[in-house]
Structure 1
Amino acid sequence: MTAKVLAIQETPLYSLAHLTLISATVPELIYIAARAGYDAVSPRLIPMHVDGEFTQSPVNRAQVQAAKTALSTTGLKVLDIELARITEDCDPRSFERALELGGELGAKRMIMSAWTPTRDDRNFLVDVYGETCDLAEPYGLTVDLEFPSFSRLRTLDEVLDIVRAADRPNGGILVDTLYLHLSRVDIGELLHVPSDLLHFLHISDCLPGIADTREGMIQLARDARLYPGEGWIDFAGIIERMPPVDFSIELPNTARIAELGYEEHARRCLQHAKQKFGAVRSQRRAADLVHLQFKEESYGQRAH
């Protein structure tokens, strides 16, 4: 068991997150990622209908078949899918088609975040999150709750509270390096999160300043992230405090895409990440990592 844990630590997957190239369809994302050297993709199967987002439904028959063909042709994996949003009128059953498709494509994770307008709805968030975990479990998916700095849940402590309260075997927390910075989370807090809740890491860099407004944060997060090593983020410190995880590069930058095009931008994202991370690896205690591997194996057996 320990040897398997060490193998995971030595060979993280690098995935191309859909927000990096949000105008691309899922099949296009897969082919671009393959040509740029990625191991996997992280497609958006639940659209947000934001400016610049692809217009073809990722769950219609033609797009699904094209995505499956692209995966078969390239040999890429699907690391995670997105984006299940908790809104005030949210019905978790609306996520089921995406969960089913994610399972078909071999995904292991689904990202969730909360966008309700009030601060007194903790029980509602726990219930929706827990029900989504229950729906995801038959498809072998964890549900990883994220804390965008301009959303309802803005800190590591807040998402940890919801995940712990829901208490599901396939619960999880997604850490995004940008949101660690924007939410002023001390990276030492990562050590307070059990390893079995941390499954992968969203990667991007930024300059040290933090926008004064919500709109400024959104503009940075959706249009102006930097390549790893160009900014302020302490990637070594973060990776050392995480368990061994895979990396999903979520790095939208409209100026770079206009200058370089989709494929070259995706390639440079990956090149900068690998160069910056180098031989940095998790420094969490070995006993904690063995427990993580045991839980993953047990959950995988239940899902199948």
Structure 2
Amino acid sequence: MNSKFSLAHLTVLGCPPPEMTYIASMAGYDYVSLRPIYMGLPGEPNYDLAVNKEMMKLTKTALAETGVKLLDIELARIFDGMDPKKYEPAMEVAAELGGKHVLSSIWTPNREYYLEKFGEVCDLAKQYGLTVDLEFVPIAAVNSLESTVDVLKTVNRDNAGIMIDVHHIHRSREAAEELAKLPKSWFHFAHLCDAPVEIPTEHDEMTRILREARSYVGEGGIDVASYIHSMPEMPYSIELPNLQRVREFGYAEHARRCLATAKAYFEAHPRKDV
């Protein structure tokens, strides 16, 4: 199996980037996906590496010592009143650490506004050799495959892409076959996890599972393989926050189980084009 895997920060959000990198290395990951853009959410740690120079130095050391690479950073949200230039320090960090992508999502319903701002984020990221990969989230304003495709086609930036999260696309009731119709050049990485097959009707329950109760791949009810096989082969970032598992096993063992179950699932569901 040649698939490459990244440990997403939300999976081990209590771990600062240096610790997270060593955990990823011990568990066998190829990459880490860091969260250096502080959003100020309740209980969210601040890992702003552009400001915390000591943490930046330790992160760089951890990457060098382990050979783990930085895949992407997050989250360049598009929201009312935002200033794209505030993301530039994090982009500088990503470029310095060897990252390739910036994850983005859209949280304002104002189409004209979000098209303009997403385009500005793409232009800013291009200066640092980074792609900007738009993720649709079921609780966000842009929450469907159709609206995401509309953004990419309208903005028409050569460093813009789409980032499919298995949880989100299942919750949005999108058909896997639709992914195969999209340009392969749009795909740079994807988010892996699983979840109960039943789609919550309550916003709070949708949010709870999304942020703190996802399942190991193969242990939920999502047809993960149908989505993965409809996209090109690329790195898979395992974004699998589960507070109960972390309490039971600790961050390191949770991260290891995330990767072990994903690899076992991939081996049991090989791509037909391989």
Residue 181 of structure 1 corresponds to 170
Q: Which of 40, 47, 50 pairs up with 1:49?
A: 40
Residue 21 of structure 1 corresponds to 12
Residue 280 in structure 1 maps to residue 270 in structure 2: yes
Indicate conservation of the 8 Å contact 2:34/2:73, yes or no.
Answer: yes
Aligned with 2:94: secondary structure?
helix
User: What is the letter of the counterpart of residue 106 of structure 1?
Assistant: G
User: What is the letter of the counterpart of residue 41 of structure 1?
Assistant: V
Residue 56 of structure 2 corresponds to 64
Aligned with 1:181: secondary structure?
helix
Aligned with 1:241: secondary structure?
coil
What percent identity do the matched residue pairs reach?
A: 44
The CA distance in 2 between the partners of 1:126 and 1:282, in whole Å, is: 37
How much does 1:12 deviate? 2.6
Residue 255 of structure 2 corresponds to 266
The CA distance in 2 between the partners of 1:161 and 1:55, in whole Å, is: 33
Residue 243 of structure 1 corresponds to 232
Aligned with 1:139: secondary structure?
coil
The CA distance in 2 between the partners of 1:248 and 1:189, in whole Å, is: 21
Aligned with 2:188: secondary structure?
strand
Residue 111 of structure 1 corresponds to 103
Stretch moving more, 240-249 or 10-19: 10-19
More helix by share: 1
The CA distance in 2 between the partners of 1:198 and 1:149, in whole Å, is: 20
Structure 2: gaps spanning 5 or more residues:
none
Indicate conservation of the 8 Å contact 1:239/1:282, yes or no.
Answer: no
Indicate conservation of the 8 Å contact 1:18/1:44, yes or no.
Answer: yes
Indicate conservation of the 8 Å contact 2:36/2:47, yes or no.
Answer: no
The CA distance in 2 between the partners of 1:280 and 1:164, in whole Å, is: 31
Residue 157 of structure 2 corresponds to 168
Residue 73 of structure 1 corresponds to 65
User: What is the letter of the counterpart of residue 197 of structure 1?
Assistant: W
Aligned with 2:76: secondary structure?
strand
Structure 1: gaps spanning 5 or more residues:
1-9, 285-304
Tell me: CA distance 1:193–1:212, structure 2 relative to 1, closer, same or farther (3 Å).
same
Indicate conservation of the 8 Å contact 2:3/2:235, yes or no.
Answer: yes
Residue 205 of structure 2 corresponds to 216
Aligned with 2:125: secondary structure?
helix
Aligned counterparts, 1:75-90, within 5 A: 75-90=67-82
How much does 1:272 deviate? 0.2
The CA distance in 1 between the partners of 2:93 and 2:104, in whole Å, is: 16
User: What is the letter of the counterpart of residue 249 of structure 1?
Assistant: I
CA shift digits 1:11-64 (9 cap, x unpaired): 332000000011111111111111111111000010222233223533221111
CA shift digits 1:195-227 (9 cap, x unpaired): 100111100001111111221111001100000
Q: Which of 222, 238, 255 pairs up with 2:244?
A: 255
Aligned with 1:230: secondary structure?
coil
User: What is the letter of the counterpart of residue 217 of structure 1?
Assistant: M
The CA distance in 2 between the partners of 1:264 and 1:251, in whole Å, is: 13
Residue 32 of structure 1 corresponds to 23
The CA distance in 1 between the partners of 2:101 and 2:272, in whole Å, is: 20
How much does 1:282 deviate? 6.9
Residue 197 in structure 1 maps to residue 186 in structure 2: yes
Indicate conservation of the 8 Å contact 1:114/1:125, yes or no.
Answer: yes
Indicate conservation of the 8 Å contact 2:192/2:217, yes or no.
Answer: yes
Indicate conservation of the 8 Å contact 1:145/1:173, yes or no.
Answer: yes
Residue 91 of structure 1 corresponds to 83
